[in-house]
Structure 1
Amino acid sequence: MSIFDDDKPAKRPAHEIGCDLSMLSVEDLEQRIALLQAEIIRLEGERQRKDAGRKAAESLFRR
């Protein structure tokens, strides 16, 4: 057993943007939609946190 994880094969993502969807079932598509919707919520939350930090910094340095 190696002490490095580099030898392990990379885990495939649950969804890859632009991949062929024709072979997926309706259930698979619903799972991917839910996954992507959760990711959008996570991205929007991070954007809001960064925007709040930027606004706080701007108000501090504009005095």
Structure 2
Amino acid sequence: MFDEEIKEPRGHETGMPIDAMSVEELTHRIGLLEGEIIRLKTAIKARNATRKAAESAFKL
């Protein structure tokens, strides 16, 4: 029973309670969220590039 590992949540969910989290846990979650923001911005850039390429291919 006590030998079971306490599993850390996989990520951060918007609105989840943070009152019981330590500064280290909060800092870790900020890092996770910043990484996710970079990933999402990269996806937006890729989609915009694809759209621009398609638009230029179909221009006459």
TM-score range, shorter chain: 0.7 to 0.9
Could you list the runs of 5+ residues in structure 2 that have no partner in the other structure? Answer: 1-8
Task: Give how far 1:49 is off.
Answer: 0.3
TM-score if structure 2 supplies the norm length?
Answer: 0.80
Equivalent in the alignment of 1:54? 51
Could you list the runs of 5+ residues in structure 1 that have no partner in the other structure? Answer: 1-11
Equivalent in the alignment of 2:14? 17
List per-residue Cα deviations over 1:1-59 (Å, max 9, x = no partner): xxxxxxxxxxx532111111111100000000000000000000011000000000001
Equivalent in the alignment of 2:31? 34
Equivalent in the alignment of 2:5? none
Q: More relative contact order in 1 or in 2 (CA 8 Å, sep 6+)?
A: 2
State, as a whole percentage, how many aligned pairs show the same letter.
46
TM-score if structure 1 supplies the norm length?
Answer: 0.77
CA distance in 1, matches of 2:57, 2:11: 42
RMSD: 1.0
CA distance in 1, matches of 2:42, 2:20: 33
Large movers: runs of 4+ above 3 Å: none
